[in-house]
Amino acid sequence: MLALLHTQPLDSPPWRYAARRRQKGRIRKDSWRARIIATLYDLKPRFQGLLRPLTNLLARRGITANQVTLAAAAGSMVLGGVLAVTAAHRLFLLLPVFLFVRMALNAIDGMLAREHGQKSSLGAILNEITDVASDAALYLPFALLPEANAALVVITVLLAALTEMTGVTGLAIGASRRYDGPLGKSDRAFLFGLLGLLVGLGVPLGGLLNLALLAAAILSLITVARRAQGALAELA
Protein backbone atom coordinates (compact mmCIF):
# COMPACT_ATOMS: atom_id res chain seq x y z
CA MET A 1 0.00 0.00 0.00
CA LEU A 2 2.82 2.41 0.85
CA ALA A 3 4.50 1.63 -2.47
CA LEU A 4 1.25 2.37 -4.27
CA LEU A 5 0.92 5.73 -2.48
CA HIS A 6 4.47 6.66 -3.44
CA THR A 7 4.03 5.78 -7.14
CA GLN A 8 0.50 7.19 -7.51
CA PRO A 9 0.07 10.99 -7.64
CA LEU A 10 -1.80 12.29 -4.58
CA ASP A 11 -4.36 14.13 -6.69
CA SER A 12 -5.05 11.15 -9.01
CA PRO A 13 -8.08 8.95 -8.25
CA PRO A 14 -7.42 5.18 -8.15
CA TRP A 15 -9.45 4.57 -11.32
CA ARG A 16 -7.33 7.08 -13.25
CA TYR A 17 -4.13 5.43 -12.06
CA ALA A 18 -5.46 2.00 -13.15
CA ALA A 19 -6.41 3.42 -16.55
CA ARG A 20 -2.89 4.77 -17.03
CA ARG A 21 -1.42 1.36 -16.21
CA ARG A 22 -3.74 -0.33 -18.73
CA GLN A 23 -2.78 2.25 -21.37
CA LYS A 24 0.91 1.60 -20.76
CA GLY A 25 0.26 -2.14 -21.11
CA ARG A 26 -1.48 -1.60 -24.46
CA ILE A 27 1.40 0.55 -25.70
CA ARG A 28 3.89 -2.22 -24.82
CA LYS A 29 1.75 -4.82 -26.65
CA ASP A 30 1.39 -2.59 -29.72
CA SER A 31 5.15 -2.05 -29.71
CA TRP A 32 5.80 -5.80 -29.72
CA ARG A 33 3.25 -6.32 -32.51
CA ALA A 34 4.91 -3.62 -34.59
CA ARG A 35 8.31 -5.26 -34.10
CA ILE A 36 6.97 -8.67 -35.15
CA ILE A 37 5.30 -7.23 -38.27
CA ALA A 38 8.45 -5.32 -39.17
CA THR A 39 10.49 -8.49 -38.82
CA LEU A 40 8.12 -10.42 -41.10
CA TYR A 41 8.18 -7.67 -43.71
CA ASP A 42 11.97 -7.58 -43.54
CA LEU A 43 12.07 -11.23 -44.60
CA LYS A 44 10.53 -10.53 -48.01
CA PRO A 45 13.28 -8.26 -49.41
CA ARG A 46 15.93 -10.57 -47.96
CA PHE A 47 14.30 -13.55 -49.66
CA GLN A 48 14.12 -11.61 -52.91
CA GLY A 49 17.76 -10.66 -52.52
CA LEU A 50 18.72 -14.32 -52.36
CA LEU A 51 16.73 -15.01 -55.52
CA ARG A 52 17.96 -11.97 -57.47
CA PRO A 53 21.06 -13.67 -58.99
CA LEU A 54 18.86 -16.49 -60.31
CA THR A 55 16.31 -13.96 -61.54
CA ASN A 56 18.98 -12.03 -63.42
CA LEU A 57 20.27 -15.26 -64.96
CA LEU A 58 16.78 -16.21 -66.13
CA ALA A 59 16.32 -12.75 -67.64
CA ARG A 60 19.61 -13.08 -69.57
CA ARG A 61 18.47 -16.49 -70.84
CA GLY A 62 15.26 -14.96 -72.18
CA ILE A 63 12.92 -16.48 -69.59
CA THR A 64 9.90 -14.23 -69.06
CA ALA A 65 7.80 -13.53 -65.99
CA ASN A 66 4.74 -15.07 -67.63
CA GLN A 67 6.64 -18.28 -68.34
CA VAL A 68 7.62 -18.53 -64.67
CA THR A 69 4.01 -17.90 -63.65
CA LEU A 70 2.76 -20.66 -65.93
CA ALA A 71 5.50 -23.03 -64.75
CA ALA A 72 4.42 -22.54 -61.12
CA ALA A 73 0.80 -23.17 -62.10
CA ALA A 74 1.71 -26.28 -64.08
CA GLY A 75 3.67 -27.67 -61.14
CA SER A 76 0.69 -27.03 -58.87
CA MET A 77 -1.64 -28.89 -61.21
CA VAL A 78 0.70 -31.85 -61.49
CA LEU A 79 1.23 -32.18 -57.74
CA GLY A 80 -2.46 -31.63 -57.03
CA GLY A 81 -3.32 -34.34 -59.55
CA VAL A 82 -0.86 -36.78 -57.98
CA LEU A 83 -2.26 -36.15 -54.50
CA ALA A 84 -5.84 -36.49 -55.75
CA VAL A 85 -5.25 -39.71 -57.67
CA THR A 86 -3.22 -41.49 -55.01
CA ALA A 87 -4.53 -39.87 -51.79
CA ALA A 88 -1.41 -41.35 -50.19
CA HIS A 89 -0.63 -39.71 -46.88
CA ARG A 90 3.12 -39.97 -47.41
CA LEU A 91 2.97 -37.94 -50.63
CA PHE A 92 1.56 -34.98 -48.74
CA LEU A 93 5.14 -34.40 -47.57
CA LEU A 94 5.71 -32.95 -51.04
CA LEU A 95 3.20 -30.18 -50.37
CA PRO A 96 5.25 -27.95 -48.03
CA VAL A 97 8.31 -28.41 -50.23
CA PHE A 98 6.45 -27.42 -53.37
CA LEU A 99 4.70 -24.51 -51.64
CA PHE A 100 8.13 -23.10 -50.78
CA VAL A 101 9.24 -23.56 -54.40
CA ARG A 102 6.04 -21.91 -55.60
CA MET A 103 6.65 -18.97 -53.28
CA ALA A 104 10.12 -18.58 -54.77
CA LEU A 105 8.74 -18.74 -58.32
CA ASN A 106 6.14 -16.11 -57.44
CA ALA A 107 8.88 -13.85 -56.14
CA ILE A 108 10.97 -14.44 -59.25
CA ASP A 109 8.15 -13.64 -61.68
CA GLY A 110 7.45 -10.46 -59.74
CA MET A 111 11.10 -9.37 -59.92
CA LEU A 112 11.29 -10.23 -63.62
CA ALA A 113 8.25 -8.03 -64.21
CA ARG A 114 9.39 -5.09 -62.08
CA GLU A 115 13.15 -5.09 -62.56
CA HIS A 116 13.41 -6.31 -66.13
CA GLY A 117 10.63 -4.37 -67.81
CA GLN A 118 8.27 -7.31 -68.23
CA LYS A 119 5.12 -5.86 -66.66
CA SER A 120 2.05 -6.51 -68.78
CA SER A 121 -1.73 -6.70 -68.56
CA LEU A 122 -1.53 -10.36 -69.54
CA GLY A 123 0.89 -10.97 -66.68
CA ALA A 124 -1.50 -9.37 -64.17
CA ILE A 125 -4.36 -11.58 -65.41
CA LEU A 126 -2.21 -14.72 -65.32
CA ASN A 127 -1.05 -13.95 -61.78
CA GLU A 128 -4.58 -13.69 -60.42
CA ILE A 129 -6.05 -16.65 -62.32
CA THR A 130 -3.17 -19.07 -61.74
CA ASP A 131 -2.96 -18.23 -58.02
CA VAL A 132 -6.59 -19.22 -57.46
CA ALA A 133 -6.36 -22.28 -59.71
CA SER A 134 -3.12 -23.42 -58.07
CA ASP A 135 -4.56 -23.05 -54.57
CA ALA A 136 -7.56 -25.15 -55.56
CA ALA A 137 -5.40 -27.85 -57.16
CA LEU A 138 -3.10 -28.13 -54.15
CA TYR A 139 -5.66 -27.89 -51.34
CA LEU A 140 -8.69 -29.80 -52.67
CA PRO A 141 -6.92 -33.20 -52.33
CA PHE A 142 -7.29 -32.81 -48.54
CA ALA A 143 -10.97 -33.60 -49.14
CA LEU A 144 -10.01 -37.16 -50.07
CA LEU A 145 -8.38 -37.86 -46.72
CA PRO A 146 -10.58 -40.08 -44.53
CA GLU A 147 -10.03 -37.86 -41.49
CA ALA A 148 -11.09 -34.70 -43.32
CA ASN A 149 -14.57 -33.31 -43.79
CA ALA A 150 -14.76 -33.04 -47.59
CA ALA A 151 -17.44 -30.33 -47.56
CA LEU A 152 -15.36 -28.22 -45.18
CA VAL A 153 -12.32 -28.54 -47.45
CA VAL A 154 -14.34 -27.40 -50.47
CA ILE A 155 -15.86 -24.49 -48.54
CA THR A 156 -12.41 -23.38 -47.35
CA VAL A 157 -11.02 -23.48 -50.90
CA LEU A 158 -14.02 -21.54 -52.26
CA LEU A 159 -13.63 -18.91 -49.56
CA ALA A 160 -9.92 -18.67 -50.39
CA ALA A 161 -10.89 -17.89 -53.99
CA LEU A 162 -13.40 -15.34 -52.72
CA THR A 163 -10.73 -13.52 -50.72
CA GLU A 164 -8.61 -13.09 -53.87
CA MET A 165 -11.65 -12.05 -55.91
CA THR A 166 -12.46 -9.43 -53.29
CA GLY A 167 -8.89 -8.18 -53.38
CA VAL A 168 -9.04 -7.74 -57.17
CA THR A 169 -12.46 -6.05 -56.98
CA GLY A 170 -10.71 -3.09 -55.40
CA LEU A 171 -9.15 -2.34 -58.78
CA ALA A 172 -12.52 -2.58 -60.51
CA ILE A 173 -14.02 0.18 -58.34
CA GLY A 174 -11.02 2.48 -58.59
CA ALA A 175 -9.20 1.48 -55.39
CA SER A 176 -5.99 -0.53 -55.08
CA ARG A 177 -5.55 -4.29 -55.15
CA ARG A 178 -6.24 -5.22 -51.54
CA TYR A 179 -3.99 -7.64 -49.63
CA ASP A 180 -5.53 -7.30 -46.16
CA GLY A 181 -5.37 -10.26 -43.80
CA PRO A 182 -5.71 -12.14 -41.58
CA LEU A 183 -5.60 -15.03 -44.10
CA GLY A 184 -3.95 -14.08 -47.36
CA LYS A 185 -2.25 -16.30 -49.91
CA SER A 186 0.99 -16.72 -47.94
CA ASP A 187 -0.89 -17.44 -44.73
CA ARG A 188 -2.93 -20.14 -46.46
CA ALA A 189 0.21 -21.66 -47.91
CA PHE A 190 1.77 -21.82 -44.45
CA LEU A 191 -1.35 -23.42 -42.95
CA PHE A 192 -1.82 -26.05 -45.65
CA GLY A 193 1.92 -26.68 -45.83
CA LEU A 194 1.94 -27.40 -42.12
CA LEU A 195 -1.12 -29.65 -42.42
CA GLY A 196 0.49 -31.46 -45.35
CA LEU A 197 3.65 -31.99 -43.33
CA LEU A 198 1.73 -33.43 -40.38
CA VAL A 199 -0.38 -35.67 -42.63
CA GLY A 200 2.69 -36.87 -44.50
CA LEU A 201 4.49 -37.70 -41.27
CA GLY A 202 1.53 -39.75 -40.15
CA VAL A 203 0.69 -37.57 -37.17
CA PRO A 204 -2.80 -38.54 -35.95
CA LEU A 205 -4.64 -35.22 -36.28
CA GLY A 206 -8.12 -36.51 -35.47
CA GLY A 207 -10.52 -33.60 -35.27
CA LEU A 208 -7.70 -31.05 -35.35
CA LEU A 209 -7.61 -31.15 -39.15
CA ASN A 210 -11.27 -30.15 -39.44
CA LEU A 211 -10.82 -27.60 -36.66
CA ALA A 212 -7.96 -26.01 -38.62
CA LEU A 213 -10.10 -25.95 -41.76
CA LEU A 214 -12.99 -24.37 -39.88
CA ALA A 215 -10.65 -21.72 -38.50
CA ALA A 216 -9.35 -21.08 -42.03
CA ALA A 217 -12.90 -20.66 -43.32
CA ILE A 218 -13.77 -18.17 -40.58
CA LEU A 219 -10.55 -16.21 -41.08
CA SER A 220 -11.22 -16.16 -44.83
CA LEU A 221 -14.61 -14.56 -44.22
CA ILE A 222 -12.95 -11.94 -42.03
CA THR A 223 -10.38 -11.36 -44.77
CA VAL A 224 -13.14 -10.82 -47.35
CA ALA A 225 -14.81 -8.27 -45.09
CA ARG A 226 -11.55 -6.44 -44.37
CA ARG A 227 -10.57 -6.27 -48.03
CA ALA A 228 -13.98 -4.94 -49.01
CA GLN A 229 -13.91 -2.38 -46.20
CA GLY A 230 -10.37 -1.34 -47.13
CA ALA A 231 -11.28 -0.79 -50.77
CA LEU A 232 -14.37 1.23 -49.85
CA ALA A 233 -12.41 3.28 -47.33
CA GLU A 234 -10.00 4.34 -50.08
CA LEU A 235 -12.88 5.86 -52.01
CA ALA A 236 -14.55 7.52 -49.03
- Is residue 14 very low, low, confident or very high in pLDDT (cuts 50, 70, 90)? low
Q: What is the mean pLDDT of residues 88-92?
A: 95
pLDDT reported for residue 20: 55
Of the listed ranges 26-35, 125-134, 146-155, the least confidently predicted one is: 26-35
pLDDT reported for residue 16: 53
Residue ranges and CATH numbers for the domains of the chain are 1-62 (no CATH), 64-235 (1.20.120.1760)
d(CA 89, CA 201): 8
Q: How far apart are the first and last CA of the chain?
A: 52
Q: Model pTM?
A: 0.81
Cβ contact 192:139 at 8 Å = yes
Q: Helix or strand or coil: residue 120?
A: coil
Of the listed ranges 23-37, 58-72, 169-183, the least confidently predicted one is: 23-37
Mapping DSSP onto H, E and C, the string for 4-64 reads: HHHHCCCCCCHHHHHHHHHHHHHHHHHHHHHHHHHHHHHHHHHHHHHHHHHHHHHHHCCCC
d(CA 52, CA 45): 10
Structure confidence by residue, pLDDT tens digits, 211-231? 999 999 999 999 999 999 999
Q: What is the mean pLDDT of residues 8-19?
A: 49
pLDDT reported for residue 36: 42
Q: Across the chain, what does the average pLDDT equal?
A: 87
Q: What is the mean pLDDT of residues 170-174?
A: 93
pLDDT reported for residue 49: 87
pLDDT reported for residue 28: 54
Sorted by sequence, the CB contacts under 8 Å of residue 207 that are 6+ apart come out as none
Q: What is the mean pLDDT of residues 58-72?
A: 96
pLDDT of 66 strictly over 70 = yes
More confident position, 105 or 1: 105
Structure confidence by residue, pLDDT tens digits, 183-216? 999 999 999 999 999 999 999 998 999 999 999 9
pLDDT reported for residue 74: 98
Of the listed ranges 1-10, 37-46, 58-67, the least confidently predicted one is: 1-10
Q: Which helix (H) or strand (E) holds 116?
A: none
Q: What is the mean pLDDT of residues 63-67?
A: 96
